[in-house]
């Protein structure tokens, strides 16, 4: 598992919740989770006192039970929330929630002149600022926050590195300014702007932003004996010990009826995009963007509508895999297993997919049920996915698959992470109807591709090594 303290804490809460679910008294044992994790007299590792630690743990459990912390009245017990989670039939599409008690209430993003300022004659910082935000007071540089645009030109110009940017990690990470502060200075999500990229979840060092889990909804269907089918995203390779065939066995042991590789759907996506790309180029369109990244698709809906006409109409790998699974198990509940918050939004819109489980939740399920993937026998998938389909979750993987499927050299432009700069870059391509870098634009919301998603549990270097072993024994996709 990646060495991340907030991830470890989230995992511990999820494991306790899984154990409570499969215990003799789910409601009572859920209520006790904060007290079990922070018993009387125990050390307080993170907060001022044991009571605040327990309060934050309570909020984490609420989110993991699938509820918005913002709606909590603080009087409802965890036992009641657990009971309500068993009754729940529907979810709303607000997939993120903020643990106010865990939020540090960071100072605003701003440029700051430190005591390292030497009051030099060159005044490099003042001359670098195009907005007149820097003045000299008592021989030292001073920044007027009302004029500053946080462009960092002064920081780059200072020969002493005396100017720093004070960053709020969640705000700084958000590419669409969907994180703001409420009247108490705590983080607040503007769901109208949010593209569910999960960057804030990954970057907050206090773990204050959580996904609203559907784990209990999945487990209650398994416990009720219903057919529950798992669709595993290509980026799952390398996240756990053991190989993908052992993972299938582990998932069946955990209660899933069957398991499908979404890489199979990625093969369909690659073939369809290859055909679509040829058609668009024959119609003299300037470029085409890929369409498999849910974060990018949310961006197009809310902030970048001008690029929609250049986006591929091809559906995502999850879409095609779910179609196959539903045709073979028409009465089953379909669960997509993914590292991506934005895929939760896509699940809401797909009639063939019922729930999403992320990798941290899957890890908690396997830990809670004492299932070790590496000790499992291998189970084949019957239909083997291609090398290119299995590589879909890595930057350049999608464009590489489309190129292989098209059996032709395609000049590609790679957008490896959505941020303010790359969004402006895409906007420019759309407005000018031109992309000199390439005719096929591959867009990945997360740096490194899906292997950089917010819910991965292994670092990219380790995951890529495991992935490469599988790619070495996989066959190429058949060209169209």
Q: What is the CATH number of domain 110-166?
A: 3.30.70.20
Alpha-carbon dihedral sign for residues 120, 121, 124, 130: positive
d(C-alpha 272, C-alpha 90), whole Å: 33
Per-residue pLDDT of the chain (480 residues; tens, 9 = 90+): 444 788 889 999 999 999 999 999 999 999 999 999 999 988 887 888 999 999 999 999 999 999 999 999 999 999 999 999 999 988 888 899 999 999 988 887 889 999 999 999 999 999 999 999 999 999 999 999 999 998 999 999 999 999 999 888 999 899 999 998 888 889 999 999 999 999 999 999 999 999 999 999 999 999 999 999 999 999 999 999 999 999 999 999 999 999 999 999 999 999 999 999 999 999 999 999 999 999 999 999 999 999 999 999 999 999 999 999 999 999 999 999 999 999 999 999 999 999 999 999 999 999 999 999 999 999 999 899 999 999 999 999 999 999 999 998 899 999 999 999 999 999 999 999 999 999 999 999 999 999 999 999 999 999 999 999 999 999 999 988
Q: How many CA atoms lie within 13 A of 33 on its CB side?
A: 34
Locate CATH 3.30.70.20 in the chain. Answer: 110-166
The predicted-structure confidence for 72-87, as pLDDT tens digits, reads as follows 999 999 999 999 999 9
Report which DSSP code applies to 384. P
Q: What pLDDT score does 108 carry?
A: 78
pTM, full prediction? 0.91
3-state secondary structure of 57: helix
The 8 Å CB, 24+ separation contacts for 118-127 are: 118/160, 118/162, 120/159, 120/160, 122/159, 124/157, 124/158, 124/159, 125/154, 125/155, 125/157, 125/158, 125/163, 126/154, 127/157
- Report how far residue 79's alpha carbon sits from residue 41's, in angstroms, rounded to the nearest whole number: 24
């Amino acid at each position: 598992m990646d060495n991340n303290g907030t991830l470890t804490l989230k995992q511990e809460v999820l494991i306790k919740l899984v154990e409570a679910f499969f215990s003799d008294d789910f409601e009572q044992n859920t209520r006790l989770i904060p007290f079990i994790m922070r018993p009387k007299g125990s050390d307080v590792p993170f907060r001022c006192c044991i009571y605040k630690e327990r309060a934050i743990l309570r909020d984490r459990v609420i989110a993991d039970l699938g509820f918005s912390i913002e709606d909590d009245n603080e009087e409802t017990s965890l036992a009641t929330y657990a009971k309500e989670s068993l009754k729940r039939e529907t979810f709303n599409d607000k997939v993120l929630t903020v643990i106010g008690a865990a939020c540090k209430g960071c100072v605003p993003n701003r440029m700051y002149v430190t005591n390292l300022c030497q009051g030099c004659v060159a005044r490099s910082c003042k001359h670098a600022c195009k907005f007149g935000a820097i003045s000299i007071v008592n021989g030292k540089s001073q920044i007027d926050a009302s004029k500053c645009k946080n462009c960092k030109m002064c920081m780059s110009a200072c020969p002493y590195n005396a100017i720093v940017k004070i960053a709020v990690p969640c705000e700084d990470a958000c590419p669409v300014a969907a994180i703001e502060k409420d009247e108490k200075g705590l983080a607040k999500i503007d769901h109208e702007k949010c593209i569910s990229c999960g960057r804030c979840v990954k970057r907050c060092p206090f773990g204050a932003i959580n996904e609203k889990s559907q784990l209990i909804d999945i487990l209650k269907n398994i416990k009720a004996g219903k057919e529950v089918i798992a669709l595993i995203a290509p980026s799952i390779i390398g996240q756990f010990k053991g190989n993908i065939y052992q993972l299938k066995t582990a998932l069946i042991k955990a209660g899933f009826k069957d398991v499908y590789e979404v890489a199979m759907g990625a093969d369909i996506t690659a073939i369809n995009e290859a055909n679509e790309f040829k058609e668009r180029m024959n119609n003299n369109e300037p470029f085409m963007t890929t369409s498999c990244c849910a974060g990018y698709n949310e961006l197009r809906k809310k902030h970048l509508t001008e690029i929609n006409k250049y986006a591929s109409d091809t559906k995502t790998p999850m879409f095609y895999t779910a179609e196959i699974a539903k045709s073979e198990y028409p009465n089953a509940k379909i669960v997509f297993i993914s590292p991506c918050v934005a895929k939760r939004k896509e699940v809401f819109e797909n009639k063939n997919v019922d729930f999403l489980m992320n990798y941290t939740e899957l890890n908690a399920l396997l830990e809670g049920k004492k299932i070790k993937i590496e000790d499992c026998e291998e189970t084949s998938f019957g239909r083997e996915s291609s090398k290119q389909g299995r590589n879909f979750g890595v930057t350049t993987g999608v464009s590489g698959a489309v190129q292989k499927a098209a059996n032709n050299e395609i000049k590609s432009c790679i957008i490896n992470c959505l941020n303010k700069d790359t969004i402006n870059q895409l906007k420019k391509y759309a407005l000018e109807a031109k992309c000199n870098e390439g005719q096929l634009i591959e867009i990945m919301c997360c740096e490194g591709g899906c292997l950089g998603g917010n819910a991965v549990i292994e670092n990219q270097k380790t995951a890529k090594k495991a992935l490469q072993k599988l790619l070495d024994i996989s066959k190429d996709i058949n060209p169209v």
